[in-house]
Chains A and B, each alone.
Chain A
Amino acid sequence: MDSAVLELAGLRKSFGALKATDDVSLTLRPGEIHALIGPNGAGKTTLMAQISGGLRPDAGVIRFRGQDVTGLSVAQRARLGLGRSFQISSLIPEYSARRNVMLALQAREGHPYRFLWPVRRDRGLTEPARAILDRVGLGPRASVPAGELAHGERRLLEIAMALALEPACFLLDEPMAGMGTEGVGRLIAFLRELKAQAPILLVEHDMDAVFALADRVSVLVYGRIIASGTVAEIRANPEVRRAYLGDEETTA
């Protein structure tokens, strides 16, 4: 357990009477995909925001590569190597796909206080950006402003930006959302490859994708983790079936 890349211990967050996060503890180990699932309103987004730094937990500790990061800002955590994608596409709309990736690259390389050399001619940014866009399959669309990309392409650009940060772990927030079956298939293959580079904490609604990818699954209901285990264990867990999967199987 000491080797956990990301470790949450006893996180709590309330909004008034609503316990959005209720004593959540979980770990992300090297080389694994840990999926976080749960019905709408279970508190997945709130939990992700606490991990990435947008929200402060009321209690509990977040350790990243052994360091307590609970008090750090979003930008500070990102610099330490927490690579986050967003549930709703969050890009720099006027920048081309290439410039978006270059922004992530320059952020990884260091502080933004470089005033002279134009980024356009910065081979340390343009070359890796091209390689990353090719890798996610956006190469031909590199010059298109992010705001004009199709929905699925924006999700891929999100992944590309996370890749550019060369993070020590990926926080992927519903990367499959709004993608067609073909896109989901390609993304599953890609994420399987990606976990060798850094472990992935995956929040996802697409159960087929989760069961195809995850090494471990944690189930969040009303802010609590009600079960945690391998895909087979979660499938077999009666509490999970009742609280969550049961609904899906009867309705599906």
Chain B
Amino acid sequence: MAEMRREYILNAVIVAALFAVPLWALMAGEPFIITLATRVALLALAAVGLNIALGLGGMVSFGHALYFGIGGYAAGILAHHAFSGTPVAFGIPGTNQMLVIWAVAMGLSGLVALAVGALSLRTSGIFFIMITLAFAQMGFFFTLSWPAYGGEDGLPIFVRNQFPGVNTMLPWELFLLSFAVLLAALGLFAVLRAARFGAALMAIRQNPDRAAAVGISPFGVKLTAFVISGMLTGLAGAMMADLTRFTSPAMMAWTMSGELIVIILLGGVGRLCGPVVGAAILVGFETLFGGWTEHWQLWLGLVLLGAVLFARGGVIGLLAGREGHG
């Protein structure tokens, strides 16, 4: 129980820090740091999505970049048509309203995740890892060679999309919006994990035969989790495209899928705030070491290797101990 209390406190500290750092940057007039914090929040959001499939359900998806990219292209394509005043298809107009874009991004990601999950969950182990990778590669090469929306050059978003009551061009307000969405996603993760659905999902991860023997069909539960997971990662992709005002095939690259897994592992697999810590470490590495040495990826690799070999629980595991399921 002491460990659980420690994790509550740790989570509160992590979330408070993610808010405090850009707040300080706002006072100090450092908009670049606010943008970095927004990046952390959105990468964390994408990883919270993956954490539902991977952390709770034990599904090692090596293709979540697909949903990240679908979200990104949903934002890019809708904004592109809104900007040019042309219809997307069949007379449907584009839009620059984030709420609409988010709904489309989540809807599309969810549909694709439903199809990919339904096919992939027939396999397991390395085959599951590889088939999810294969579907993401299909998306990657499709966007790379489909000429209509920029192909390998990607698609710029000239004017950042709108959200009611928020000036999305101001870094601080965009951060607040991203932070709020991240909090909502963390809340969703916590609620799902605590509910009957989460109990069934985590039981299936640990012992699928036992879950079936009490009457819980693993396939449906895993598929549902996979779809929710893809939708959240898709939402993160749409928001990331708006942050960088750019969407490109790189969002669907296999390295992006790898990074999302890395984020989860560094923070702590299945832990509520693991993705936030992991995303902060990754962005921190990129920024701090990236400024100091061009070979920062060497150091990231060493840290990651050390984490896998010697610190399986990630940062949260190190600080808060093992997870309890009292």
Chain A residues within CB distance 8 Å of chain B: 52, 54, 73-76, 78-79, 84, 86, 90-96, 98-99, 102-104, 106-108, 112-120, 122, 143, 145, 161, 164-165
Q: CB < 8 Å: which of B199, B209, B323, B326 contacts A106?
A: B199
Apart from A95-B325, A115-B197, A165-B215, what are 18 other A-B pairs with CB-CB below 8 Å? A75-B213, A75-B215, A76-B215, A79-B215, A91-B210, A92-B206, A94-B202, A95-B202, A103-B200, A103-B211, A106-B200, A107-B216, A112-B221, A113-B196, A114-B195, A117-B196, A118-B194, A119-B195
By a CB distance below 8 angstroms, the chain B residues around A119 are 194-196, 198-199
By a CB distance below 8 angstroms, the chain B residues around A114 are 195-197
B212 at the interface (CB under 8 A from A): yes
Q: CB < 8 Å: which of B192, B195, B212, B326 contacts A74?
A: B212
Q: CB < 8 Å: which of B215, B224, B323, B326 contacts A113?
A: B224
Q: Which 6 A-B pairs have the closest CB atoms?
A: A78-B215, A112-B200, A118-B194, A74-B212, A79-B215, A75-B217
By a CB distance below 8 angstroms, the chain A residues around B201 are 112
A–B complex contacts, Cβ < 8 Å, 19 sampled: A75-B212, A78-B212, A78-B213, A86-B210, A90-B210, A94-B206, A95-B206, A98-B326, A99-B326, A107-B211, A107-B215, A113-B197, A113-B221, A115-B192, A117-B195, A119-B195, A143-B326, A145-B325, A165-B214
The secondary structure that dominates the A interface is: mixed
Cβ of B207 and Cβ of A92 under 8 Å apart?
yes
B121 at the interface (CB under 8 A from A): no
Give Cα A18 to B203, complex, Å.
Answer: 35
B134 at the interface (CB under 8 A from A): no
B318 at the interface (CB under 8 A from A): no
B21 at the interface (CB under 8 A from A): no
By a CB distance below 8 angstroms, the chain A residues around B192 are 115
B191 at the interface (CB under 8 A from A): yes
Give Cα A136 to B129, complex, Å.
Answer: 42
Cβ of A120 and Cβ of B221 under 8 Å apart?
no
By a CB distance below 8 angstroms, the chain A residues around B207 are 90-93
By a CB distance below 8 angstroms, the chain A residues around B210 are 86, 90-92
Cβ of A120 and Cβ of B194 under 8 Å apart?
yes
Q: CB < 8 Å: which of A54, A73, A79, A103 contacts B199?
A: A103
Given contacts A94-B325, A96-B325, A145-B325, contact A115 B213 (CB under 8 A): no
Give Cα A73 to B202, complex, Å.
Answer: 20
Closest B residue by C-beta to A142 = B326
Given contacts A113-B224, A119-B199, A120-B194, contact A90 B215 (CB under 8 A): no
Give Cα A165 to B210, complex, Å.
Answer: 13
By a CB distance below 8 angstroms, the chain B residues around A75 are 211-213, 215-218
Give Cα A234 to B257, complex, Å.
Answer: 63
Chain B residues within CB distance 8 Å of chain A: 191-192, 194-203, 206-207, 209-218, 220-221, 224, 323, 325-326
Q: How far is the CB of B181 from chain A (nearest CB, A)?
A: 19
Give Cα A86 to B209, complex, Å.
Answer: 10
Q: CB < 8 Å: which of A73, A92, A122 contacts B203?
A: A92
Give Cα A113 to B211, complex, Å.
Answer: 14
By a CB distance below 8 angstroms, the chain A residues around B216 are 75, 103, 107, 112
Q: How far is the CB of B321 from chain A (nearest CB, A)?
A: 13
Cβ of A107 and Cβ of B214 under 8 Å apart?
yes
Give Cα A79 to B209, complex, Å.
Answer: 14
Give Cα A79 to B199, complex, Å.
Answer: 17
Give Cα A92 to B211, complex, Å.
Answer: 8
Closest B residue by C-beta to A144 = B326
By a CB distance below 8 angstroms, the chain B residues around A76 are 215, 217
Give Cα A76 to B213, complex, Å.
Answer: 9
Cβ of A120 and Cβ of B214 under 8 Å apart?
no
Given contacts A95-B203, A95-B325, contact A116 B191 (CB under 8 A): yes
Give Cα A96 to B199, complex, Å.
Answer: 12
Give Cα A113 to B195, complex, Å.
Answer: 9
By a CB distance below 8 angstroms, the chain B residues around A92 are 202-203, 206-207, 210-211
Give Cα A120 to B325, complex, Å.
Answer: 9
Give Cα A76 to B206, complex, Å.
Answer: 20
Give Cα A147 to B217, complex, Å.
Answer: 23
Give Cα A14 to B206, complex, Å.
Answer: 30
Given contacts A106-B196, A115-B192, contact A96 B212 (CB under 8 A): no
Give Cα A102 to B203, complex, Å.
Answer: 11
By a CB distance below 8 angstroms, the chain A residues around B325 are 94-96, 99, 145
Q: How far is the CB of A152 from chain B (nearest CB, A)?
A: 19
Of the listed residues A75, A76, A98, the one surrounded by the most CB atoms of chain B closer than 10 A to its CB is A75
Q: How far is the CB of B3 from chain A (nearest CB, A)?
A: 12
Q: How far is the CB of A184 from chain B (nearest CB, A)?
A: 24
By a CB distance below 8 angstroms, the chain A residues around B195 are 114-119
Cβ of B214 and Cβ of A78 under 8 Å apart?
yes
Of the listed residues B198, B206, B325, the one surrounded by the most CB atoms of chain A closer than 10 A to its CB is B325
Cβ of B206 and Cβ of A112 under 8 Å apart?
no
Q: How far is the CB of A168 from chain B (nearest CB, A)?
A: 13
Give Cα A115 to B191, complex, Å.
Answer: 7
By a CB distance below 8 angstroms, the chain A residues around B209 are 54, 74, 90
Q: How far is the CB of A207 from chain B (nearest CB, A)?
A: 27
